[in-house]
Chains A and B, each alone.
Chain A
């Protein structure tokens, strides 16, 4: 069965960086785009960007350009999202999700990133 398992919760200080991992299993990792979506406490969903594991090509939302990096390690079927220069506005649950026909059919459990001094 398809699973996306994310790394655990993080607490970071303003200005720091955070790296969240997403390990995929149950399907061919290279064949599906992985997207990252975040959700601030009590708020809606916000698209961060995607990576295509086969090639490593990435695309980010404009507001994250220059602050976000997405990479993958195909040998261990894992995608990574790094967000730098964190502020309190980045406090959110970050989800990785698999792209099926430009919709999200499988989701990770979410990683809470808390930015606090």
Chain B
């Protein structure tokens, strides 16, 4: 199974400041069709997860443009350009390249 490792596991951030979460996979996430099936999810307290980014850097319709994804191969990053109060929650990276699909441990973003 592909292991997804996120850092940091906790990220206290000042409102209006940037935040960055790293995700590393134990194997390359490039699929045979050339796509990289790495996505980012946000889970606010008491809510189901919500898709933010798919295929590394594609923002889902309706997701604020302060969220961006980047990376390739085994190293990926989610950036929030200016953290807002509504961004508090746990963020997960997820790979859909190889069965079984696997998730990172989650990174808790909270306001300082």
The chain A residues found within 8 Å of chain B, CB to CB, are 35, 44-47, 59, 61-62, 95, 99-105, 107-110
Contact = CB atoms under 8 A, between A and B. Distances in A.
A109 B55 CA distance: 24
Interface size class of B (residues with CB under 8 A): 20 to 34
Interface of B: 35, 37, 39, 41, 48-51, 54-55, 58, 60, 92, 94, 96-97, 99-106
Contacts of B100: 47, 61-62
B102 to A, nearest CB: 7
Contacts of B97: 102
A102 to B, nearest CB: 3
Contacts of B99: 59, 61
A107 B48 contact: yes
Given A47-B101, A47-B102, A107-B48, 16 more contacts: A44-B92, A44-B103, A44-B106, A45-B49, A45-B94, A47-B103, A61-B99, A61-B100, A99-B96, A101-B35, A101-B37, A102-B101, A103-B94, A104-B41, A108-B48, A109-B48
